[in-house]
Amino acid sequence: MLTLNGIGASPGTVEGTLFCYHRKVYSGPSRPVGSPEQERERFRAAIRQADKQLRQLFQDTVSDADEDCAQVFEIHRMMLEDQDYLQAVEELIGKGNKGVESAVEEAARIFSNTFLSMDSAYMQARSADVIDVSLRLLRILRGEEEKPLTLPYPVILAADDLCPSETVQLDKKKLIAIVTAEGSRNSHTAILAKTMGIPAVVRLGDVITDEMHGKHAAVDGSSGTLWIEPTEEICRLIHEKTMDLDERRQQLMQYKGLPSVSRDGVSVKLFANVGSLEDCEAAVENDAEGIGLFRTEFQYLSASACPGEEELFRLYRNALQTMDGRPVIFRTLDIGADKQAPCLPLPPEENPAMGMRAVRLCLTRTELLRTQPRALYRASAFGRIAIMVPMIASVWEMQEIRKAASSVCRDLGAEGLAYNPNVPLGTMIETPAAALISADLAKEADFFSIGTNDLTQYTLAADRQNGSIHLFYDARHPAVLRLIRMAAESGAKAGIPVGICGDLAADLTMTDFFLASGITSLSVPASMILPLRERVRSLTVGGWEPDLNKTSGRG
């Protein structure tokens, strides 16, 4: 038996056959290099051909009713229009007698390394897209056909890494786990595995060899372990773990359809946090009572051009239709700091977390206060929608947002387009300032949603991205809890709902504190809805008074 350790990227355990896959590696041109102009012309022809292929792949995947997956091809097509990338290849051609293939390879290396060196895990994962689209160009330049990876029967797929286009084209029925040498927790591979609910381990390193192909293997996606030819003992343990997980999942099913109410009648709405249509489907499957946070910036982070009104409108409308009458709270763009979007390049800042992000960006670049709000208000004719604004620190910011919303409604009305004029407009409480002035903000907001991730970062002056200070980043710090309490009290006095959508909402040791504080909704990852409902239903909140000097809930 061989035990290999990587990073657990999607939980679950499974046993099965290992299927090793190596992407073809290209090396240097095998033909005489032409003049720089001839090579550039070949490059432009390859771009045109790739554009055609990607449009076709997009269409085919949309017709398979997989619009979310199809987006990968649209993103790649937009990458082919990226002026920086195009210019880099054209400039590399001719340098040191470089042909087009070598120039594409080098540009892929440069751009993928740039993405990898970024702080944000999300941006790091974009390096896979650059490599993917460059491989497509190389295939075209060499006249090779694109052969989608075909799996013979349900297998554990082992690969160096999977390109986004490869993951999208995989036959999901034949995939029971994914293990990769490279990748990250945030990579397409991890996202695909989590969405499919199968285990995944990434970053195993250069240890998976072709001799392992076809061998029996076991995977634990929580601990990040891969066993090749596991012993009977390991198989037994894996089997037990799988049974336990299945049993737990089964046991949680009994909470589907039940009200989220404590033993003594305190009720709370349990919503899901999402970033895509697929996430909305998972929310429905897990019996979420609505969406408490739709992170709308995700559609911008992966695009090289800002999505247009029509595209956004279709996405928002589809989300509302998927939620089938349940409410959906869309958060306006939260770009900046750790979430940089190539389509909205921001000048470098000394302190980006305290700089041009979220509502500040929208109030500065006023075109952002038109496209997305227009799409949201148009979608409001198709379901129960609410809009909330991130990073509010002052009352005037909310007032400006209200003015922009009214102006959008006026325009839509004048154009004869349907919209709901009474969409609730909420404030995120994620700066200490917002919590401290929550009584004033409650006059401008129809609801509050507390973002504990940022509220913790700004209250404790502890960067949420910096792993080395995780000891100092404590979302259960008494200062954070007092601010939560303060916002909840202001909301209750003004008669508006107060929810929590930061990660702390899913901390089951805090549920009694939240209920006792008058929090009206908790928004968590879909997989946490049923465990949270189980917790709520087990509690007696009564007149419990939390000790705000302790750093955790009651226990």
Q: Which active-site residues does the annotation give?
A: 188, 501
Closest approach, Cβ 388 to Mg ion, in A, equals 11
Neighbours of 266 (CB within 10 A): 19
Burial class of residue 552 in the structure, from the number of CB atoms within 10 Å of its CB (0-12 exposed, 13-18 middle, 19+ buried): middle
Closest approach, Cβ 349 to ligand PEP, in A, equals 17
> How far, CA to CA in Å, does 174 sit from each of 40, 169, 218, 221, 409?
41, 12, 16, 18, 48
State the alpha helices, DSSP H only, in 97-126.
100-116, 121-125
Closest approach, Cβ 155 to ligand PEP, in A, equals 36
Closest CA to 47 of 5, 80, 75, 83: 80
Query: What sign does the dihedral 59-62-68-69 (CA atoms) show?
Result: negative
Write out the H or E segment, with its range, that includes residue 456: helix 452-460
Burial class of residue 247 in the structure, from the number of CB atoms within 10 Å of its CB (0-12 exposed, 13-18 middle, 19+ buried): exposed
**Residue 294's beta-bridge partner residues?**
274, 330
- Considering only residues 452 to 511 of the shown chain, the ones binding ligand PEP according to CB under 6 A are 452-454, 501-502
The Cα–Cα gap between 359 and 332 comes to 8
The Cα–Cα gap between 423 and 104 comes to 48
Closest approach, Cβ 158 to ligand PEP, in A, equals 33
Q: Identify what 295 binds: Mg ion, ligand PEP, none; CB under 5 to 8 Å per kind.
A: ligand PEP
The Cα–Cα gap between 433 and 393 comes to 5
Piece in contact with ligand PEP (CB under 6 A), picked from 92-100, 162-170, 300-308, 448-456: 448-456
**Which residue's structure tokens are 């004869």?**
416
Which residue number, 169 or 456, has a Cβ lying nearer to ligand PEP? Answer: 456
Piece in contact with ligand PEP (CB under 6 A), picked from 51-59, 262-270, 450-458, 514-522: 450-458
The answer to whether the CB of 505 falls within 8 A of the CB of 525 is: no
Piece in contact with ligand PEP (CB under 6 A), picked from 32-40, 93-101, 300-308, 449-457: 449-457
Which residue number, 166 or 334, has a Cβ lying nearer to ligand PEP? Answer: 334
Closest approach, Cβ 209 to Mg ion, in A, equals 43
User: Residue 101 interacts with ligand PEP (CB under 6 A)?
Assistant: no
The answer to whether the CB of 180 falls within 8 A of the CB of 7 is: no
The Cα–Cα gap between 443 and 183 comes to 47
Residues 403-432: x/- map of binding to ligand PEP (CB under 6 A)?
---------------------------x--
Q: Identify what 452 binds: Mg ion, ligand PEP, none; CB under 5 to 8 Å per kind.
A: ligand PEP
- Considering only residues 206 to 265 of the shown chain, the ones binding ligand PEP according to CB under 6 A are none
User: Residue 536 interacts with ligand PEP (CB under 6 A)?
Assistant: no
Which residue number, 20 or 488, has a Cβ lying nearer to ligand PEP? Answer: 488
Query: How would DSSP label each residue in 385-412?
Result: EEEEESS--SHHHHHHHHHHHHHHHHHH
Which residue number, 4 or 329, has a Cβ lying nearer to ligand PEP? Answer: 329
Write out the H or E segment, with its range, that includes residue 447: strand 447-450
One-letter-per-residue 3-state SS of 123-168: HHHCHHHHHHHHHHHHHHHCCCCCCCCCCCCCEEEEECCCCHHHHH
Which residue number, 103 or 526, has a Cβ lying nearer to ligand PEP? Answer: 526
Binding positions for Mg ion, rule: CB under 5 A: 430, 451, 454
User: Residue 451 interacts with ligand PEP (CB under 6 A)?
Assistant: yes
- Considering only residues 319 to 338 of the shown chain, the ones binding ligand PEP according to CB under 6 A are 334
Closest approach, Cβ 397 to ligand PEP, in A, equals 16
User: Residue 295 interacts with ligand PEP (CB under 6 A)?
Assistant: yes
Closest approach, Cβ 451 to ligand PEP, in A, equals 3
The answer to whether the CB of 419 falls within 8 A of the CB of 380 is: yes
User: Residue 40 interacts with ligand PEP (CB under 6 A)?
Assistant: no
Which residue number, 199 or 499, has a Cβ lying nearer to ligand PEP? Answer: 499
Closest approach, Cβ 389 to ligand PEP, in A, equals 12
Size of the site for ligand PEP (CB under 6 A): 10
Which residue number, 57 or 429, has a Cβ lying nearer to ligand PEP? Answer: 429
Q: Identify what 220 binds: Mg ion, ligand PEP, none; CB under 5 to 8 Å per kind.
A: none
Footprint of ligand PEP on this chain (CB under 6 A)?
293, 295, 334, 430, 451-454, 501-502
